[in-house]
Structure 1
Amino acid sequence: MNKNSILGMACLASSLILTGIASTHAQSKAADLKSWPKGSSPKEIGARIAGRFVTTPHSNFNRPGPPKVITYPESCTWYGALTFAKETRDAKLLGQLKDRFEPLFGVEAKMIPVPDHVDYSVFGAVPLELYMQTKDKKYLDLGISIADKQWGPPEGPRVKPESHEFYNKGYTWQTRLWIDDMFMITALQAQAYRATGDQKYIDRAAKEMVFYLDELQKPNGLFYHAPDVPYYWARGDGWMAVGMAELLRSVPKNNPNYQRIMKGYKDMMASLLKYQTEEGMWRQLIDKPESWPETSATGMFTFAFITGVKNGWLDKEVYGKAARKAWLKLITYINENNDITEVCEGTNKKDDLQYYLDRKRNIGDLHGQAPLLWCATALLR
């Protein structure tokens, strides 16, 4: 082989190596969850959404007039704002979120929801987060009382005959096998575990999650809105995605239910990956191309992807790229008032495709604001 041939082969090899390096760099950049264009970072976006929340009166599902009690979308947004304050070490924001809570110990005491239903009980996650950040025992006492009541003997007007059956089998009497529950129940119990270190709380949540997975998850990893409504309504599935990701952050790996939950989570994530739109969103009905891109579900699925990548459960390149694309597209739906647009209104079940396609698209609905804060927090963890 002559000198020129050797030199040519060396140049080709160098070129291939450089091309490979450039390709790897491009892939890594596409999956980067740390560096962001100006104005799109989780710290900037989270500050805008949290700032909006602390100046917003108690939410009533976009209905006129104030609510009688704290609603679950407000509880979820409050929790998200608190976790964001923690990750950013924002003492001022934490103070504002505490100030919002103080009237509940006095003049607004009646606004603390009676914890006889999953949508009311999730409120307990808020005082438990306040306790973990402030160490003020009054928050712990309130939050734990709600967490314990959820697994206590069935009582109150919402008790159904099957409530006793679930309770006797070690599940919460608030079990109803709605997919929303797997954030509402597990978030509260996981928070109780984080606040106290008492394993009974995380064991409860893990057992409950496996029950729901075994009963409701479809072979493709997704969930119908209800057993008698064969549609993959995105926000309903979003509660499952967030619930599993949030729970897996705290379930010990030696927990007997850990592997089952992880399988359910990974099966769902793999399916969601297939349905993400080219722009990065998910649709109101996940598998229906005629349905519209919806922001609350997109935020929830993005949180689940981010959390999986950050904890090493999901492939960094594949899911990191999907999460980055989703975040950058999702935040374009935030308007000048720091309200997210294209949020599906609260939806009762109905076996009618057009019913879901025609759902109202809300602006600033806390169902959509909360996932933005969860995502911002997850990106900063």
Structure 2
Amino acid sequence: MKQTIQCLILALGMAQLHPVVCEAQSKKAMADLTKWPAGASPQEVGKRVAEHFVLTPHTNFGRTTPPRTITYPETCTWYGALTFAKQSGDKQLVQKLVQRFDPMFGAQDTLIPKPVHVDATVFGSVPFELYMQTKDNRYLEIGKRFADKQWDNPEGPHVKPESQDYLNRGFSWQTRMWIDDMFMITAVQSQAYRATNDKKYIERAAKEMVLYLDSLQKPNGLFYHAPDVPYFWGRGDGWMAAGMAELLRSLPKESQYRERIMKGYKTMMASLLKYQAENGMWRQLIDDAESWPETSCTGMFTFAMITGVKNGWLDAATYGPAARKGWLALITYIDSNDDVREVCEGTNKKNDRQYYLDRKRNIGDLHGQAPVLWCATALLR
């Protein structure tokens, strides 16, 4: 009789435990960033988008005419394609991306922008990556010219009265307090550090990031498109999210700025978690339920969360499912031509909600292609 009761108690305990075990297994599966449905793996998706980029002529913000110099959306996509090629071990893809640069050592050298503005200076992240993968010093020389100019004497049409003051205080003279800057500046400076191991690059980028966080981040962790434009525009905030993730993954742990940046990053990620739609997307205006799902910001936020989970900055059980949902939602917007749909066109600030809701939704815009490649890379790291 006693043995029978013990058996019943054991059976009851197992029955009660079973749903808990199933729930735990389900949560683990939802947070898994390594196993994917057929066609959804970062290897497959990244390869498609990167190979499509290789065949894409130099773009000019949707215009039919070729650009005078390489634009920042192309730089960001090129950088993403290179990091994806490295993480996936695709040497043929690396070679194709090297060949894309080759003409700029000769007749097409005018395509290399002059580093006199943040949008132009971010170009340096590409030659730095090419140097790290090929060890060709020609790339290093170009990259350093861009990174160094950002903290050199102000020059060019974008110099403002406050430019020299920023430089005197240890910041880049290219500082303009636009949230886009926190990818444009930190990407090239982080790449300079990775390529040279000189801490001055990463430290000055971190100091710059703290300036922007202290000046622009709202209590909810998000950022207005501009101080006089009280809207949380998706891609603008995406540049901040991606920029903090890029910086933190290389910023030395002993840096005096790391704690402050990590606080800003985590506060932003917690807020983004609340605004992610059930299907995994984020919106053109992050906190506006009537706003349309937008792919470039979704890719940038997903990249930032993947990077946080992979590096242990974010709780995997909480943010893993969000990152997985973001990736699986994002790739449904890639069409049969490997172009990403629903990409907000280039957007200047305007204190008008309807202006943001009515922005053109592009297909194949490199603003949207780039974050897909960043995500694929981050998932493979």
TM-score by length of 2: 0.99
Q: Deviations over 1:306-325 (max 9, x none)?
A: 00000000010110000001
Q: CA RMSD, aligned part only?
A: 0.8
Matched residue, 1:91: 91
User: 2-side partners of 1:308 and 1:158: how far apart?
Assistant: 35
Matched residue, 1:121: 121
Matched residue, 1:139: 139
Matched residue, 1:378: 378
Matched residue, 1:225: 225
User: 2-side partners of 1:113 and 1:31: how far apart?
Assistant: 41
Deviation of 1:12 after TM superposition, in Å, equals: 1.1
Give the match's secondary structure for 2:142.
helix
User: 2-side partners of 1:123 and 1:308: how far apart?
Assistant: 25
Matched residue, 2:13: 13
User: 1-side partners of 2:157 and 2:348: how far apart?
Assistant: 21
User: 1-side partners of 2:354 and 2:16: how far apart?
Assistant: 53
Summarize the alignment of residues 152-301 of structure 1 with structure 2, pairs less than 5 Å apart: 152-301=152-301
Matched residue, 1:39: 39
Deviation of 1:3 after TM superposition, in Å, equals: 4.0
Q: Deviations over 1:332-364 (max 9, x none)?
A: 000000000000001011000100000000000
Deviation of 1:18 after TM superposition, in Å, equals: 2.9
Matched residue, 1:72: 72
User: 2-side partners of 1:177 and 1:121: how far apart?
Assistant: 16
The residue type equivalent to 1:195 in the other structure is: A
Q: Deviations over 1:180-210 (max 9, x none)?
A: 0000000000000000000100111000000
Deviation of 1:4 after TM superposition, in Å, equals: 3.6
Deviation of 1:2 after TM superposition, in Å, equals: 4.2
User: 1-side partners of 2:348 and 2:108: how far apart?
Assistant: 29
Deviation of 1:15 after TM superposition, in Å, equals: 1.9
User: 2-side partners of 1:322 and 1:159: how far apart?
Assistant: 41
Deviation of 1:6 after TM superposition, in Å, equals: 2.3
User: 2-side partners of 1:113 and 1:145: how far apart?
Assistant: 11
Deviation of 1:107 after TM superposition, in Å, equals: 1.1
User: 1-side partners of 2:91 and 2:34: how far apart?
Assistant: 23
The residue type equivalent to 1:311 in the other structure is: N
The residue type equivalent to 2:155 in the other structure is: E
Deviation of 1:5 after TM superposition, in Å, equals: 3.0
Q: Which moved more, 1:147-156 or 1:275-284?
A: 147-156
Matched residue, 1:29: 29
Q: Deviations over 1:202-224 (max 9, x none)?
A: 11100000000000000000000
TM-score by length of 1: 0.99
User: 2-side partners of 1:284 and 1:84: how far apart?
Assistant: 26
User: 1-side partners of 2:372 and 2:239: how far apart?
Assistant: 14
User: 2-side partners of 1:311 and 1:363: how far apart?
Assistant: 32
Deviation of 1:173 after TM superposition, in Å, equals: 0.2
Deviation of 1:20 after TM superposition, in Å, equals: 2.2
Matched residue, 1:331: 331
Gaps (5+ residues) in structure 2?
none
Matched residue, 1:151: 151
Deviation of 1:248 after TM superposition, in Å, equals: 0.1
Q: Which moved more, 1:12-21 or 1:324-333?
A: 12-21
The residue type equivalent to 2:92 in the other structure is: K
Matched residue, 1:369: 369
Gaps (5+ residues) in structure 1?
none
User: 1-side partners of 2:290 and 2:17: how far apart?
Assistant: 44
Give the match's secondary structure for 1:282.
coil
Deviation of 1:157 after TM superposition, in Å, equals: 2.1
User: 2-side partners of 1:356 and 1:156: how far apart?
Assistant: 31
User: 2-side partners of 1:197 and 1:2: how far apart?
Assistant: 70
Q: Post-superposition, which runs of at least 4 consecutive aligned residues in structure 1 deviate over 4 A?
A: none
The residue type equivalent to 2:216 in the other structure is: L
What is the count of residue pairs matched by the alignment? Answer: 381
